[in-house]
Each structure stands twice: as C-alpha cells, then as structure tokens.
Amino acid sequence: MREVDQTLDAGEQVELHVHLDGAIKPETILYYGRKRGLPLPADTAEGLQNIIGMDMPLSLPGFLAKFDYYMPAIAGCREAIKRIAYEFVEMKAKEGVVYVEVRYSPHLLANSKVTPIPWGQKEGDVTPSDVVALVNQGLQEGERDFRVKVRSILCCMRHMPDWSLEVVELCKKYQQQGVVAIDLAGDETIPDSSLFPGHVQAYEEAVKSGIHRTVHAGEVGSPEVVKQAVENLKTERLGHGYHTLEDQALYDELRAKNMHFEVCPRSSYLTGAWKPETEHAVVRFRRDQANYSINTDDPLIFKSTLNTDYHMLKNLMDFTEDEFKRLNISSAQSSFLPENEKKELLDLLHKAYGM
C-alpha cells in the first residue's frame, strides 16, 4: 500500500497545473549543488527550504526571483534533470494523485543551443531537445515504479518569444512520448506579451498540428490578457484566470464555452494574485459550477502539497467532499489525454468516488 497524503475520502486526485522546476526536493538541490561545486544560499535541506520557500505574500516578480537560488544546481546536468522528473512522480504518488500533467520550459534547463544560456551557466552539451528526452525518461520510470499516470506540457516563456517556435516543434517531436500540450508562462505583466509574434506563431502551429494549448493569464494580469489568450492564442484552458471575473461579459462567454480554469489557491495567496480580504475567484467558480481544477503550481516554493490546497479550501472557504469530487471529475474531463484514456481516468474516478 503506498503512503497517501489524503484529503478526499476517495483519495484519488487529478492535478493539471504544476511546474517541474517548482517541485524539486531541497535534498536533491543540495546534492547537485555540492556535486557540481555550485554555491547555494544554505547548506542543509531545511535551511534551503526556508530560503527558497515562502510563508508571506510576495509580488509575482519577487516569487519568480526565487528560481535564481536553485536552478543553476539542476540546469545543464543530465542526471539531475532525469532525477527531478522521477522524484516528482514519487511525490505525487504520496499525495494520492492518479493523473498529473507537469509543465516546464525545456530552454531553462538547457545549456546548449539556447540563447541566452540561462542561469549564468557555461556552454555545455544539454540542448532543449535533450532536456525533454531526459524528463520523459524520468517520468516514464516514475510511472512504472509509482503507478501514477503522468503527461507533460512544454512552456514558452513570455520574455523569450524567440524560443517559442522551437517549443512547439518539441511538442510535435515528443508527442508520442507523453508531451500533450504547450503553455505560455512567465511574467504576464510584460505589456502585450501574448501578442509577441514568436508566441502567436507557435500557437498557430500548435492549432494546425493538433497540439493542446494552455496559457497563464489573468493570474495578476487584467481580463485583457485572458482575452488575448483566448482570441489570439486559441487557448483551451487558462492557467489561474482569476481576473476574468472583472469582465462579466468575458466570464459569461468563457463559462458558456466550458473554459477550464487551472486554480492554484495557496499560490494565489503567496504571489499576491489574491488578497485574503476579498472573495477568492474559486468561490465564485464553485457557486457558478464552473469548470476548474485545484493545483499546487510550485510546491517547493509554496512549501505545500496538494493536501495544503484542499485544506485551504475546506477550512477557509467551506468546500465540501462533493465539490472536491465534482472538480476532480471536471479536471479529468479537461485533461489533455486522448478520449479513450480520458474515459479510463473518468471510470477510475467514478469507481473511487462511488458514483
């Protein structure tokens, strides 16, 4: 019997929005920092967790700066890249997750054939394509050992539109090895970054090639960013999407289309996307029976598990067992699995929930 960090009585959860590079064990960061002779801000796993982790809200850019501390220890190292993917699946198995879509930027883990080379690394021999192959290996071995179904999403970065066409090509190249979608991540406060030609062309190619699409939008950005994600990038899901609620007509239109919102409760508090004195967007989504999921986003930085997010909704917002079941069914229906595998997942959930 695997150890499960259960919230749902049924224990079977689906997670659609979690970043691989925000879900690394501090011990692993420490190990590779030492092994590669790279300076880290602390020399114990606990010390590292406290510096990287957050307890109080920061701005989105303040949160994004956290990655500078530890990404150099992992990026550009084949062994480390494969290992964080494998350990990610183990982590999710312990949380009672049966299906997860994990996302990352291949370019931010590479040190070759990427301009500029991220995190101040010297040029090496790990290309963005190598990164995807390594992550796929780690995830597949994790699936085999921990019996969790895992698929991955490749991220374009808002500030680096020059990378985006390669991202969609990698989605196509590795479509048979578990890559199911493209995402646009990073700082959405960069004005009109959804309209940068590199991103627009990549998403047009994704539509043409049958690659699924999600976009971070409306987390801290205005409803206009959401509109651009829907109209210009033809997104099928919204990462966060909370600020959609400020434009009633847009929200009504998206609900009519059954748009899926990837909600990350603890994340929204710590990035300042949600102010605790206001009603959380997820409460409105629940009231309207909208289509949404509950996700951890970056559990390393938010010092959380999926359980943390469920408890937050249960204790602070009076969410019930029935609503957790409903949203997990919605998550499975909005997953980027092919129809036959989606049906298997839904059957598994219905059985687990006694529905």
Residue 214 tokens, joined: 């999600």
Residue 31 tokens, joined: 């190990």
182 bridge partner residues = 154, 213
Distance of CA 331 to the CA centre of its chain: 14
Helix (H), strand (E), coil (C) string for 224-273? HHHHHHHHCCCCCEEEECHHHHHCHHHHHHHHHCCCEEEECHHHHHHCCC
Instruction: Determine whether 166 is an active site residue.
Output: no
Q: Is the dihedral of CA 20, 8, 334, 275 positive or negative?
A: negative
**Strand order from edge to edge, sheet including 260-263:** 13-19, 97-104, 149-157, 179-185, 212-217, 237-240, 260-263, 291-294
12, 166, 188, 219: the catalytic one is 219
Determine if the peptide bond prior to 118 is cis (ω within 30°): no
Catalytic site residues? 219
